[in-house]
Structures are given as structure tokens and as C-alpha cells.
Amino acid sequence: MKDTITMASDMNDYFNKKKSESGGGKRPTGGSGGGGGPELPKINFDLGGKQGIIYFIIAVVIMLVLAKPFTIIEEGQRGILSTNGKYQDQALLPGLHFIIPVIQKVYVVDTKVRIINYVSLIEANTGASGILTKPAVTVLDKRSLPVSIELTVQYRLNSQFAAQTISNWGFSWEDKIINPVVRDVVRSVIGKYDAEALTQKRGEIATEIETGIRNSVASLENAPAILQSVQLRDIILPQKVKEQIERVQIAKQEVQKAEQDVQRVKQEALKRAAEAEGVAQKARIEAQGIADAVTIEADAQAKANVLIAKSLSSQLLQLEQIKIQGKFNDALRENKDAKIFLTPGGSTPNIWVDTKNIQQRTTAN
């Protein structure tokens, strides 16, 4: 503060001295002989007291604004501090940081997720931050046929080693790390397959590519980048290969249709055989039922005959013969020309015949 007051006093003395040398600050006036012009206004250069302090503060503020001895790091960013051209090992975290102007400088790098789209048709630049578009990866298959692979790679700068990454790879680290690794891994994986097999083994190939890129990036010193995901978008085959695959697919579909037709015919034949077997089985069951019924009836009749035979006695037979004889006697009274035939041994039934009508026969039971 004292230095400020002293500087203001010295300036005041200087201007007072100049004032006295100019004759009290007045310039001669008059006509053409005296020369001169209008009197200049008086300027008060008294910087003593509070005015000097105010001017000093203003000068300091202007110097701070022009020199900018501080920087602000936002979320999703890291600051790389450079002192006389040498990077500091530890990156600056989000927040306010003071630096020495001219000697120190801060480079801000993005640590948010970034995307590279590898596409056949370069898309129009949408201006979206962190999204890059590059040509599709064109490689050769197992038979040296050209194949284009479209990918989407999501990654971000490893904030823990951001300073070392910038120091080793520079600010164009993406073009030196991600892009070469992606193309090298895709070339290695696709080279193991025939073009026809690429679409059939799409899932397996996508897994191989992602695993290869992830391992390659992670194996670099200080793990400069963290891989989020690798998505296989499309496999673009040569036109001749596409046509060949289409012909093979059509042939397979025709074979499958023929197999389905054969299978359907077999099923219909089996159905008809099953129906015929069912009808035959039904007939067998019905015939067996009828035969069983006849057998049961015959067995019952036989058992009945046995029981009847066991129940017959000579007295019962004589009684039955007497009853039959009575019936014949009644018949003879009505027809005297009838003839009677007795069964030998006196067994029943006896038979009589009407001699008047030789066609009529009557059996009495």
C-alpha cells in the first residue's frame, strides 16, 4: 500500500514540474503576431489518496483477466497440466485450479463415452460430440474374397492414466489406438472363415471380434482406453457370393419341402394303417365276442342237458310216455286213419302220420 501511495506522489510531482515549466499551464493567445490558440482545459492529475488505490486495483484486475491464472475442469473431463512443456503425471480432476500464467498451461481432454461408426456409406456429419464416422473395415476371407464389416465401437479415455496416455500417444490417441486395433482384429477373425459361413456364424464372429479388440486394448501400457462395447452391425459380401448363398438357400428350402412332403405322406400312411388296424381289431373283438357268446351258450346248454339227463329216471320217462300216449289217443279219436310209430324201447317222442294227407306230419312233444 505504501508503495502505491509513493508511486502516486511521484507521478503527481512529475506533472506539477511539467506544469511549472509551461508557465503555469497557460499558452499565449492573440492575433497572428502572437500566435497561439484556444486554452487547453486543466487536467487534475492528483492521484494521491484513495484514487491511486482504485487505479491500482483496476490495473491488477485487468492483468488477471488477460493472464487468466486459473482454469475450470468440468465433469466428464480431465486436465493435463503442462509446466514449461512437461506434462504432470496426475491429471487434474473436475473443479477450479490455479496455474502460473505463461509458465503453466492446462489441456482439457474428454473422458466421456465416445463412438466410432464403421460404415460403408459415410453418414452426414450430425455435429454430435464424441461420435466419429469411418469407412467400413474391408478385409479378405479365407478364400481371399473381399468382405466389408460394419461395426460400432464404444469406448472412453481411461481417466486414471489420462496424462500418461496424452504424453505417450498425443491428443490423436484414438486414431493411434482404437482404429488400428479394430481393423487388425477384424482382419484376423474374418480371415479364418469362408464368405458363405460368415452370415451363418454371425454371433460367433461378433463375439470373437469384441473379445479380440477388448484384449488388445487392455494389453497396452497403462490401459489408455476402456472399451464399452463392440457391435457387429452388418457383413457385406460380394455380389457373386450373395447370389451363390441365395441359390444354396433355395435348394435347401426345396429339400426341406420335399422332406416335409415325404414326412406328411408317411404320417398319412401310418394314419391309414392305424385306422385299418383299428377296424381289424374291432372285427376281431366282435368275432371273438360272438364266438365267446356261442361257446358260453353251448356250454350252458350242455350243462343244462347234463343236469336234465341226471334228473331223468325210469318212472319219469314212463310218466312222460303215458302223457304222450294220451295225446295220441286223443288224435286217433279225431283221425282214425292215422298211423302211429313207437320209438323202439318205448322212448318218446312217438310219431303219428295222417294217411289221408301224406304231406302232413305232426310231431308231438
SS3 content of the chain, % helix, strand, coil (to 5): 50, 20, 30
| 208 and 271 belong to one structural domain | no
| Residue 67: per-residue pLDDT | 67
Q: Assess whether pLDDT exceeds 60 at residue 36.
A: no
User: Does pLDDT of 270 surpass 70?
Assistant: yes
Q: For residue 177, how many other CB atoms are within 10 A of its CB?
A: 20
Has residue 120 been placed in a domain?
yes
Name the pLDDT band for 209 (thresholds 50, 70, 90): very high
Q: Is the peptide bond before 349 cis (omega within 30 degrees of 0)?
A: yes
Same domain for 169 and 207, yes or no, is yes
Q: What is the pLDDT of residue 2?
A: 40
pLDDT for res 188: 93
More reliable by pLDDT, 209 or 301:
209
Residues with Cβ within 8 Å of 233's Cβ and at least 6 positions away in sequence, in order, are: 118, 119, 150, 151, 152
Give the model's confidence band at 29: pLDDT under 50 very low, under 70 low, under 90 confident, else very high.
Answer: very low
The C-alpha atoms of residue 14 and residue 226 are separated, in whole angstroms, by 67
Can you say how many angstroms the Cα of residue 365 is from the centroid of all Cα atoms in its chain? Answer: 97
Percentage of the chain modeled with pLDDT above 90? 20
* Predicted local confidence at residue 215, as pLDDT: 93
β-strands 114-119, 131-135: how paired?
A: parallel
Local structure of residue 224 (DSSP, 8 states)? -
Residue 260 has pLDDT above 50, yes or no: yes
Does any domain span residue 33? no
What pLDDT score does 211 carry? 94
Number of domains the chain is built from: 4
User: Is the Cβ–Cβ distance between 154 and 229 less than 8 Å?
Assistant: yes
Please report which confidence band the pLDDT of residue 153 belongs to, taking 50, 70 and 90 as the band edges. Answer: very high
The whole-angstrom separation of Cα 294 and Cα 355 is 41
Q: What are phi and psi of 139, to 5 degrees?
A: -135, 180
pLDDT computed for residue 20 by the predictor: 54
pLDDT for residue 339: 65
Domain containing 319 equals 314-363
122, 160 contact by CB (below 8 A): no
DSSP for 266-284 reads HHHHHHHHHHHHHHHHHHH
Residue 34 has pLDDT above 90, yes or no: no
47 CB neighbour count, 10 Å cutoff = 21
pLDDT at 142 over 70: yes
The contacts of residue 125 (CB under 8 Å, 6+ apart) are 133
Query: Which comes out higher in pLDDT, residue 319 or 16?
Result: 319
End-to-end CA distance of the chain: 165
Between the alpha carbon of residue 18 and those of residues 2, 37, 51, 52, 312, the distances in Å are 25, 20, 21, 20, 182
In whole angstroms, give the CA distance from residue 302 to residue 292: 15
Q: Is residue 223 part of a domain?
A: yes
Q: Is residue 161 part of a domain?
A: yes
Q: Which of 54-58, 142-146, 156-160 has the lowest mean pLDDT?
A: 54-58
So what's the pLDDT on residue 26?
44
Domain membership of residue 32 (yes or no) is: no
Q: How confident is the model at residue 287 (pLDDT cuts 50, 70, 90)?
A: confident
Q: Does 292 map to a domain? A: yes
Choose the final residue of a domain: 185, 216, 237.
237
Query: What would the DSSP string read from start to end of 30-73?
Result: -STTT---PPPPP-----TTHHHHHHHHHHHHHHHHHH--EEEE
Three-state secondary structure call for residue 303 = helix
Last residue of a domain, one of 212, 237, 262: 237
The angle formed by the CA atoms of residues 256, 244 and 196, to the nearest 5 degrees, is 85
Q: What is the pLDDT of residue 55?
A: 81
Residue pair 131/148 in contact (Cβ under 8 Å)? The answer is: no
- Interval 70-94: pLDDT, tens: 888 888 889 988 888 888 888 889 9
Do 223 and 257 have their domain in common?
no
At 335, the amino acid letter reads: N
Positive/negative CA dihedral, 230, 231, 234, 235: positive
Write the CATH number for 173. 3.30.479.30
Task: Note the pLDDT of residue 289.
Answer: 84
Domain boundary among 199, 215, 237: 237
pLDDT, position 349? 53
Question: Of 89-98, 299-308, 354-363, which has the strongest mean pLDDT?
Answer: 89-98
Average pLDDT over residues 269-279: 85
Q: Is residue 132 part of a domain?
A: yes
- The edge-to-edge listing of strands for the beta sheet with 351-354 is 338-341, 351-354, 361-363
Residue 244 has pLDDT above 90, yes or no: no
Q: What is the pLDDT of residue 49?
A: 57
Whether residues 138 and 85 fall in one domain: no
The DSSP letter of residue 142 is T
- Mean pLDDT score across all residues of the chain: 77
Whether residues 232 and 243 fall in one domain? no
Judged against a pLDDT cut of 50, whether residue 198 lies above it is answered with yes
Strand partners, 236: 148
